[in-house]
Amino acid sequence: MNKNRSSITFIHSIRFKLIVGLIVVMLPVVTYLIYNNVYSIKVVRNQVAASISDTVSLYMDIVDQSLDSVDAYLLRLIIEENGFLPLESVVHHDSDAYQLEKIRIFQKMYEDMRYYQTLDFTFIYNTQNEELILVPNEYKQRETVPDWQETNRSLAEFARSASGLEYEKAWFDKKIGDEYYVLRMVKSGQLYIGMGININLLLGPKHLLDLGDNVQAVFTNDQNEPLQDERYFFNHDLNLAYPVEDYEMTGEHNDYLIVGEASSKGRFHLVALVPDDAILEQLPYLLRITYVIACASALSVAIALIALRKTVLLPIRRILAAMRKVKEGFLDERIPYSRSSNEFETMNETFNGMVTEIQQLKIDIYEEQLVNQKAELRQLQLQINPHFFLNSLNIVYYLALDKKYALIQELSLSLIRYFRFMFQSGADFVSLQDEIKHTENYLRIQSFRFPDHLSYEVEVPEEALSIALPPLMIQTFVENSIKYAMDTDRQTHIQITVELSSHEELRIRVRDTGPGFSDELLQRLQQNINLMSAQGEHIGIWNVKRRLELLYKGSATIQFGNQDGAYVEIRLPVNEAS
């Protein structure tokens, strides 16, 4: 409930309305600028992707044409070269005929590669003799010379394990040593005839095509693994899987545009990656200005909110915080001085002055209330039941008629002590010991009035005698018991019990053996309803309750009930008499 109330209060606050107003004004402008910039970036990326894709397709066509010419040479070599037959028919590869044919074919293939600068080598593998004939292309210019011994070993091992059928369909990739090659291999009888091209050298004609200085081109296999610069692509977390149409962004932060083209001659692909920074450099100058304006607008909104908070919201918040404190009763609260607008400074000074005046007014009213409460308390303490006074004089008169002078002396002494206690200096508190003595003195006087019909018992722990309590607190309820519980047809017993609890609380219980409280009266007593009537009934109970309210401010309690008669239980916080 409080959470919903806080939400509603915030919605109706000036802060919320100002923030919403700024957002409503600036959001459409900023949104349009950002959308325009994002759309422009997308258009430029599409244009760059289309251009690079066309270039990659063109280059892949050139590569495929080169591979197609090599394929044609390979097939023509198989069809036209009858010398392959002796290699298949000779059982012992160490025979002279076999060696002569091998030298002749080697020489022919070596001379043919003069016209195929793309090829790195050709090879023939005889499955019958398990022998590989490797023919390197010595006419090809290269930066590094391959390790022909490693190449020979790798090709022989590969050819022995190859089934042949899956490799006859297209060019495929094979790693030999530290380099990747694309190989073409065809089976003819017992022979595997193949060719290999270094993947790096396959990119030879790239300088003829304009891919741009920042474009990274790479061949990949069917598993989208790079066949060049593997470490570079791994370090940059680049996924080389490209879409068939359009383009995608790749990289750890999507900072590379990727397009690609599959070879029609082999199981490899040509992929181009363009850094996004290089693409955005091609944005028109005005579009970049638009992007700056959008960012500046968003920043302006943030700055405006900060300025608004400092100049308007914070002063208002300080005023509201001080008002809440004053509402809770903290009249010492003041709005601290801080440099702000003239209007807020005037409001702060006015508010502080008003609180000072309210504080002084409250002090004056409080002092006046204290004076009135003390006067009321003195008046309550001095209230005397006139019937008790008249009854006491009447007892003295009848004792004098019977010439019972000793009883008259005892009664007179009790009356003197009683009235001395009643007319004492008007202290707010007396010791429990004095209150008990006064109550016992009162009961002794009443025993003269009701001889053989009244008995009483007082139980007070010695350690509680010094505790302070309001005067006439116990005697009032004893007087009430005599008034309503006494019956001349039977004896009435009054019991006074005092207990001191462990948590510093004094419990006083006054109980009689009379008929008890009526249900109506008990209900009114429990509901704390004023019981005083025009005839002054129950004035004593009202007197005690009123004094407890004035002296203890709600920390004292009175409980009424019936238990074989009426009982009253008073609980007071301990207040040691000085």
Q: Is the distance from CB of 132 to CB of 159 less than 8 angstroms?
A: yes
d(CA 572, CA 552): 8
Burial 133-149 (b: 16+ CB within 10 A, else e): bbbbbeebeeeeebeee
Whether residue 397 has pLDDT greater than 90: no
Q: What is the sign of the dihedral through the CA atoms of 137, 138, 141 and 144?
A: positive
Please report the DSSP string for 119-162 in residue order: -SEEEEEETTTTEEEEEE-TTS--SS---HHHHHHHHHHHHHH-
Place of tokens 């509680």: 464
pLDDT at residue 286 in the model? 53
What's this model's pTM, rounded to 2 decimal places? Answer: 0.48
Whether residue 549 has pLDDT greater than 90: no
User: pLDDT grade, residue 577 (50/70/90)?
Assistant: very low
Q: Is the distance from CB of 384 to CB of 422 less than 8 angstroms?
A: yes
Mean residue pLDDT of the chain comes to 79
Least confident segment among 4-8, 109-113, 386-390:
4-8
Task: Report the amino acid identity of residue 227.
Answer: L
pLDDT at residue 534 in the model? 45
Whether residue 508 has pLDDT greater than 90: yes
Residue ranges, CATH 3.30.565.10, the chain: 391-573
Please report the DSSP string for 221-262 in residue order: ETT--BSS-HHHHHHTT------SSS-EEESTTS-EEEEEEE
pLDDT at residue 578 in the model? 39
pLDDT at residue 553 in the model? 80
Paired residues of 217 in beta bridges:
272
Whether residue 530 has pLDDT greater than 70: no
d(CA 183, CA 266): 9
Least confident segment among 56-65, 264-273, 332-341:
332-341
CA dihedral 12, 14, 18, 19 (to 10 degrees): -60
User: pLDDT by residue (tens digit) across 125-157?
Assistant: 888 778 888 889 887 776 667 788 888 888 888
Whether residue 529 has pLDDT greater than 70: no
Least confident segment among 157-166, 288-297, 380-389, 405-414:
380-389
Tokens of 395: 């007892």
d(CA 331, CA 322): 9
pLDDT at residue 383 in the model? 55
Please compute the mean of the pLDDT values over residues 361-373 and round it to a whole number.
68
pLDDT at residue 568 in the model? 93
More confident: 166 or 251: 251
pLDDT at residue 416 in the model? 85
Whether residue 208 has pLDDT greater than 60: no
Secondary structure of the chain: what % helix, strand, coil (to 5)? 55, 20, 30
Whether residue 36 has pLDDT greater than 80: no
The dihedrals phi and psi of 570, each to the nearest 5 degrees, come to -110, 130
User: pLDDT by residue (tens digit) across 91-100?
Assistant: 555 677 778 8
CATH of domain 391-573: 3.30.565.10
pLDDT at residue 576 in the model? 44
User: pLDDT by residue (tens digit) across 63-92?
Assistant: 888 888 888 888 888 777 665 766 766 555
Place of tokens 């692909």: 269
DSSP state of 381: H
**Cα distances (angstroms) measured from residue 129 to each of 90, 103, 124, 191, 225:** 9, 16, 12, 10, 35
User: pLDDT grade, residue 384 (50/70/90)?
Assistant: low
User: pLDDT grade, residue 343 (50/70/90)?
Assistant: confident
User: pLDDT by residue (tens digit) across 235-271?
Assistant: 878 888 888 777 888 887 778 888 999 988 888 899 8
Whether residue 379 has pLDDT greater than 70: no
Least confident segment among 256-265, 306-315, 381-390:
381-390
pLDDT at residue 541 in the model? 79
Please compute the mean of the pLDDT values over residues 340-356 and round it to a whole number.
78
